[in-house]
Amino acid sequence: TFASQDPQFALPAPAQPGQALSQVDTPSLLLDLAAFERNLDRMQGRADAAGVKLRPHAKAHKTPDIALAQVARGAVGVCCQKVSEALPFVRAGIADIHISNEIATPAKAALLAALARRASMSVCVDDARQVAMLEDACRAADARLTVFVEIDVGQGRCGVKNAESALRLAEAIAGSSHLRFGGLQAYHGGAQHRRTREERRVAAARAAESAAQTVVRLDAAGIACATVTGGGTGSVEFDLASGVYTEIQPGSYVFMDGDYGRNEWDAASRFEHSLFIASTVMSVASGTRAVLDAGLKSMAVDSGLPTIWQPSPQALRYVAANDEHGIVEATDGTALPGLGAQVLLVPGHCDPTLNLYDEIVGFRDGRVECLWPVAARGLSR
């Protein structure tokens, strides 16, 4: 038979439900299900208590099983960052998806219009040409789309610069027969990872203030902002209390990556690390270092190298990432993990790390419980 038809040539799954965690093939992406469920419950509980809708960002996990777990707890839907990223979620039955981003080509507008015939879809604009393009695509597809005006609340990325520009765009949307004006997106990405609560409080307060002023300006012109959406894991505490945001869109709280772990938090906002990379010591020949099988191709390092979770998080340090090697050194004379030992890492940045794996291996009490396809992996178009 051809190799492609021979089961001997198929790559086995990294794990089987019921297996001990130590049996998982590496590098693999592990999810501590108990911590993950507590994170989901905690964020939903906080949003509910504040009377604010939760629309978690699915770019963090790219995994329909996780989106379904969020919606089951009360999330109104999810955010995606890209149109193609939304496809697996629509397919899995997520009925309401916000593209928290702009698009600028007819092909993307056409795909979004096609999705809008299957689910409630919304998208952001910060330019009148985007409005015209979306209207054309929706007319051609006979689709209806909700459109948000994104305002720049301090990040200097996307979004219009002032309330007058927001008003002009809102009027253009309201005047388009296939588009509905949804409200404002006011997201400040630059504020999320500022280390102290005070720095984040100040940035979040400015963002909320500028969103509030825009709402007032549109109101005065007779255009209501039904929804003001924004906020991430780092600013949730302030966004929920702002009285301005009607919806928050945090993503990373599900996993808490290493970088978020280094922020200062109030007790209620410190979510738990639930995401780990399982790696294996594949060489100890150097005598002074242990070499792991997880390097740059197994984790994003833009927010720093991973930290070691097990064994001995204090005494072992991951000091260098090569393509497929991770170098571990011991501080204070602690023994290095031996050949074949499993080492669990906390990745520095969860979103781009998820994008490197085909499945999440969920575990509980030291045993594999489930394998969840990262179905939106690689969908960056």
Binding residues vs ligand PLP (CB under 6 A): 57, 60, 79, 100, 187, 189, 192, 232-234, 249-252
Quick one: 26 or 233, whose CB is closer to ligand PLP?
A: 233
Residue 36 and residue 20: Cα distance in Å, rounded? Answer: 19
CB of 243 to ligand PLP, least distance (A): 20
The Cα 11–Cα 261 span in angstroms is: 34
Taken as a whole, the chain contains a residue count of 381
Comparing CB distances to Mn ion, the nearer of 99 and 147 is 99
Q: How far apart are CA 314 and CA 218, in angstroms?
A: 53
Torsions phi, psi for 84 (to 5 deg): -60, -30
| Cβ-contact 366, 73 below 8 angstroms | no
Smaller CB separation from Mn ion, 250 or 295 = 250
The residue written with tokens 């964020």 in the block is 43
Please state the closest distance from residue 260 (CB atom) to Mn ion, in A.
Answer: 8
Query: Based on the number of CB atoms within 10 Å of its own CB, is 267 exposed (0-12), middle (13-18) or buried (19 or more)?
Result: exposed
Distance in Å, CB of 255 to ligand PLP, minimum: 9
- Shortest distance, CB of residue 16 to ligand PLP, whole angstroms? 31
| Minimum separation from the CB atom of position 247 to ligand PLP (A) | 11
Distance, in Å, from the CA atom of 83 to the CA atom of 212, rounded to the nearest integer, reads 28
Distance between CA atoms of 270 and 276, rounded to whole angstroms? Answer: 17
Q: What mask of x and - would describe binding to Mn ion in positions 142 to 171, judged by CB under 5 A?
A: ------------------------------
Residue 98 or 178 having the CB closest to ligand PLP: 98
CB of 251 to Mn ion, least distance (A): 7
Task: Give whichever of 233 and 342 is closer to ligand PLP, judged by the CB atom.
Answer: 233
Q: Are 325 and 351 in contact (CB under 8 A)?
A: no
Of Mn ion, ligand PLP, none, which one does residue 28 interact with (CB within 5 to 8 Å by kind)? Answer: none
- Residue 249, binding choice from Mn ion, ligand PLP, none, Cβ under 5 to 8 Å by partner class: ligand PLP
The least distance separating ligand PLP from the CB of residue 250, rounded to whole angstroms, comes to 4
Three-state DSSP string of 196-225: CHHHHHHHHHHHHHHHHHHHHHHHHCCCCC
Of 342-381, binders to Mn ion (CB under 5 A) are: 351
Q: Does 259 bind Mn ion (CB under 5 A)?
A: no
**CA–CA separation, 257 and 350 (whole Å):** 5
**Comparison of 126 and 259: residue with beta carbon closer to Mn ion:** 259
Helix (H) or strand (E) holding 290: strand 290-292
DSSP code per residue over 123-144: EEESSHHHHHHHHHHHHHHT--
With CB atoms as reference, the residue minimizing the distance to Mn ion is 351
CA gap 58, 273 in Å, rounded: 17
If the CB atoms of residues 85 and 351 are measured against Mn ion, the closer one turns out to be 351
Per-residue interface string for the shown chain with Mn ion, residues 300-339, x marking contact by CB under 5 A: ----------------------------------------
The residues of the shown chain that bind Mn ion, judged by CB under 5 A, are 351
